[in-house]
Amino acid sequence: MKNFIWFIVFVVIVICGAGYFYFSFYDNSLGAAEQLARDKVNMVSRAVSMEQTNLFTEVGRDLELIATMFKGEKDISNKKFNDIYNKYFSKDSYLTSLGFMNSAGTLVAIAPKKFEKEIGNNYAFRKYFQNAKTTKDIVYSGLIDNYRPKKIEDEYKTILLALPVHYNEKFYGVFFTQIDTDKIEENLKEIMGAFEAKSSDLYFYDIENDKVVARTGMRFEENPDFEEFLKKVCQEQKLLNKKDKVYTFNNEKYFIDIQPIVGKHKKAAFELIGVFLYDDLIGYFAKFNREVIYLVVFIVAIITIVLIGVVYNEKVIKRLNVKIERLEISINEVAKKKEVSELTETTYFKDLRDKIDSIQKSQDKVLKKKKS
């Protein structure tokens, strides 16, 4: 029994030690796996943000080049805008239009022709136009709805880049171009497809207007709750500068990485938000962990069965020992009876019994004579 108790103590110590070692190993390995996942998330988000940064930089350069084509011209020709657009930007371009607004904010020229119904509209109220009057750098509008004072203009959302023009230090107007947000979204989806991140999303986020410009929509299409959640994450990361947190939405964990999109002259009013499903990036580790747990459970089950078997066998052995002792007692009693029987069957005991019987008979005769 004493050995059995020591055996149980030894097994408990081994299991506790193995458990402590495993969970220490698990915490360290999980931390390393999460860091690798963060590095991958950061790499993807940064690569995509650089792609979008290049887009804004190239558009800015194109706008500056277009402005040089009109250098010295005080009467801006709508035909010239159409010629430039049709020659350079009508195919495979992110630009949906080119145009010019005068110093009063009135649209005087625009290409292609489908936008000519907007000529004469005044955009002096727009924030980008107000900013353009006070700078010489390209100004970004953020995501805006097309202005439709005549109600015949097309309805669409766009991002506008405005380049201020000054003659003799006097504000003359702005050359502008509009970017196709649908193409931005297509580009994001193409990039995510290349990374095979089927359960992850990229969001092109407009900081100034607090809006999502484009999304890949791999997990979430337009989801106001999720977008509100993203806004809070962006604010938290800016305030706390904490990017190593795992975020939870609807009981699912996510890695979220935010990268700025920088234009040619300054930081644009946009950010690239990468949202990556935790289980997709750490899934292999969770699978390995489950396999280890199953193995540990199996080993514990085997040890438990062995212990139960040992306990059961000890009880069986005790019962067998009791039965053997009882059997030995029975055998001893039978052996004694047999020895007595064998002894009484000898000639000596038979003669002795005959003598005893003869004496008994003699005594019985004497007693009868006395009575008579």
Q: Three-class SS string for 2-63? A: HHHHHHHHHHHHHHHHHHHHHHHHHHHHHHHHHHHHHHHHHHHHHHHHHHHHHHHHHHHHHH
Predicted pLDDT at 343: 60
Predicted pLDDT at 103: 94
Model pTM?
Answer: 0.69
Predicted pLDDT at 208: 80
- Digit-coded pLDDT (tens) for 171-225: 999 999 999 999 998 888 887 777 665 667 888 988 888 888 888 876 666 677 8
Coil, strand, or helix at residue 136? coil
Predicted pLDDT at 22: 57
The token pair that represents 257 in the structure block: 């990485």
Predicted pLDDT at 276: 86
Q: Is 196 left (phi over 0), alpha (psi -120 to 50) or beta?
A: left
Predicted pLDDT at 1: 57
Predicted pLDDT at 40: 83
In the chain, which stretches have pLDDT less than 50? none
Which CB contacts under 8 angstroms, 24+ apart, belong to 25-34? Answer: 26/289, 29/285, 30/282, 30/285, 33/282, 33/285, 34/246, 34/282
Q: Of 202, 180, 206, whose CA–CA distance to 189 is shortest?
A: 202
Tell me how far apart the terminal alpha carbons of the chain are, to the nearest angstrom. 78
Predicted pLDDT at 130: 94
Asked whether the beta carbons of 227 and 215 are under 8 A apart, the reply is no
Using CA atoms in the order 18, 20, 23, 27, what is the torsion angle rounded to 10 degrees? Answer: -130
